[in-house]
């Protein structure tokens, strides 16, 4: 005994004003071995009512009906946002232009009544195509939802990282900085009150080490969250450029608007981190002799470009398994509605461009 249950009967809605043609459809389905239940309607209103009830697997429609066409009926039910199953045209003589226009409007397929023997195949194909399209749409929705959740998680992580950086910078400034400053005063007091040359020599050595420690703590604090960013993006970029030139000896040309752009703190931070990461990558990989940074806020878009004349990026740089820096910049840009482009100019080198659309209040001077 077979455990397979019989296939459920197809529920077919037939838009047809001719009882004879309706009987031909029934006969073609029976000859094709199709298990079916068929309901005939003759008007657009009856078609709408039947579709509103739902439960149909396919609609078969004569092309020309009294006072309207099947395409007219299709557009009417689509305008009502009904869940329309696969819609197949049956016609005695539909021209190719009309058939192409119908398919372009979203109708599933068409069949000449002279080829009625092909009807079971056409119905099966239309249902399969509809199911495949729905699967793609479902997969697209799930992918979009997954990307949205990933973007929200990325934004949350970036925000958490920046908050932690700011907290660590404050602790370095308040605790470590305060302690190092107190030690500095104590060493100065020892130097003033000792007559022992060896003790003075040790105190001098300690002051030198302390100077390096204070400098290191300030550098770490500035890298974590530079207080100069509170003075605006341009001031922060100037400080970043000065430190880069002093550390690497590579000259940097910074071009920025004469006035401070009116930006949100989030946008300023994204632009600063983008420039910071770009300069870090240049230090590691570019082998260049000069760098140019251009900042503009014209046209309602903040644009930050960091370009060098080095050896450039390989074509698959963004696809490398450990290209987290550039990927992180892409995700940072998305958190403020922007995007990042990385290219190799014709003259060589690498150009990294951050673009962020500005809202009207931000773009105002």
User: Looking at residue 233, which CATH number applies to its domain?
Assistant: 3.30.565.10
C-alpha dist (Å) from residue 334 to 150, 210, 269, 302, 340? 11, 42, 13, 14, 9
Look at residue 147 and tell me if it is in a domain.
Answer: no
C-alpha dist (Å) from residue 24 to 16, 29, 47, 87? 11, 9, 20, 18
Containing 58, the helix (H) or strand (E) segment is strand 58-62
Instruction: Give yes or no: residues 240 and 359 share one domain.
Output: yes
Look at residue 46 and tell me if it is in a domain.
Answer: yes
Final residue of a structural domain among 136, 152, 167: 136
Q: What is the mean pLDDT of each run of 10 residues along the chain (365 residues)?
A: 64 92 92 91 91 89 89 88 86 78 87 88 91 90 86 75 77 81 86 84 86 83 76 90 92 90 87 91 89 92 93 66 70 88 84 87 41
Closest CA relative to residue 57, chosen from 121, 105, 12: 12
C-alpha dist (Å) from residue 112 to 10, 14, 62, 337? 21, 15, 10, 52
Identify the pLDDT of residue 364: 40
Final residue of a structural domain among 71, 104, 136: 136
Identify the pLDDT of residue 250: 94
- How many helices and strands (H and E) does the chain possess? 11, 12
Look at residue 141 and tell me if it is in a domain.
Answer: no
Look at residue 282 and tell me if it is in a domain.
Answer: yes
Instruction: Please tell me the total count of domains within the chain.
Output: 2
Instruction: Give yes or no: residues 112 and 234 share one domain.
Output: no
Instruction: Compute the distance between CA of residue 267 and CA of residue 302 in angstroms, rounded to an integer.
Output: 9
Identify the pLDDT of residue 165: 76
Instruction: Compute the distance between CA of residue 227 and CA of residue 363 in angstroms, rounded to an integer.
Output: 24
Final residue of a structural domain among 115, 136, 157: 136
Identify the pLDDT of residue 305: 95
Instruction: Give yes or no: residues 125 and 239 share one domain.
Output: no
Identify the pLDDT of residue 88: 92
Using a 10 angstrom Cβ sphere, with 0-12 exposed, 13-18 middle and 19 or more buried, the burial of residue 223 is middle
Identify the pLDDT of residue 113: 85
Q: For residue 286, what are the contacts with CB-CB under 8 A and spacing of at least 6?
A: 308, 310, 311, 349, 350
Look at residue 114 and tell me if it is in a domain.
Answer: yes
Domain hosting 36: range is: 10-136
C-alpha dist (Å) from residue 254 to 58, 260, 293, 341? 65, 14, 5, 19
Q: Residue 55's domain is classified under what CATH number?
A: 3.40.50.2300
Could you tell me the two tokens for 155? 């934004």
Look at residue 193 and tell me if it is in a domain.
Answer: no
Residue 169's CB: how many other CB atoms inside 10 A?
19
Contact between 123 and 34 (Cβ < 8 Å): yes
Look at residue 167 and tell me if it is in a domain.
Answer: no
Identify the pLDDT of residue 184: 85
Look at residue 5 and tell me if it is in a domain.
Answer: no
């Amino acid at each position: 005994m077979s455990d397979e249950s019989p296939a459920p009967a197809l529920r077919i809605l037939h838009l047809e004003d001719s009882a004879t043609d309706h009987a031909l459809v029934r006969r073609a389905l029976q000859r094709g071995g199709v298990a079916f239940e068929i309901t005939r309607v003759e008007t657009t209103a009856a078609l709408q009512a039947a579709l509103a009830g739902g439960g149909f697997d396919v609609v078969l429609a004569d092309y020309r009906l009294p006072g309207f066409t099947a395409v007219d009926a299709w557009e009417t039910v689509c305008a009502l946002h009904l869940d329309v199953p696969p819609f197949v045209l049956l016609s005695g003589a539909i021209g190719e232009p009309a058939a192409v226009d119908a398919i372009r409007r979203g109708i599933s397929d068409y069949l000449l009544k002279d080829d009625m023997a092909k009807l079971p195949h056409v119905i099966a194909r239309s249902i399969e195509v509809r199911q495949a399209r729905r699967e793609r749409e479902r997969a697209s929705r799930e992918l979009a939802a997954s990307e949205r959740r990933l973007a929200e998680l990325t934004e949350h992580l970036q925000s958490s990282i920046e908050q932690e950086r700011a907290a660590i910078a404050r602790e370095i400034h308040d605790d470590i900085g305060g302690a190092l400053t107190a030690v500095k005063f104590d060493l100065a007091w020892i130097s003033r009150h000792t007559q022992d040359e060896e003790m003075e020599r040790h105190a001098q050595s300690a002051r030198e080490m302390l100077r390096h420690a204070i400098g290191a703590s300030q550098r770490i604090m500035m890298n974590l969250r530079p207080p100069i960013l509170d003075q605006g993006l341009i001031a922060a970029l100037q400080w970043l450029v000065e430190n880069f030139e002093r550390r690497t000896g590579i000259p940097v040309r910074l071009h920025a608007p004469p006035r401070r752009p009116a930006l949100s703190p989030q946008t300023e931070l994204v632009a600063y981190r983008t420039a910071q990461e770009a300069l870090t990558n240049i230090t590691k990989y570019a082998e260049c002799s000069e760098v140019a940074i251009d900042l503009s806020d014209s046209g309602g878009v903040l644009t930050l470009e960091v370009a060098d004349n080095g050896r450039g990026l390989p074509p698959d740089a963004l696809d490398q398994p450990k290209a987290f820096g550039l990927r992180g910049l892409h995700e940072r840009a998305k958190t403020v509605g922007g995007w990042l482009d990385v290219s190799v100019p014709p003259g060589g080198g690498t150009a990294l461009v951050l673009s962020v659309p500005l809202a009207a209040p931000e773009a105002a001077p």
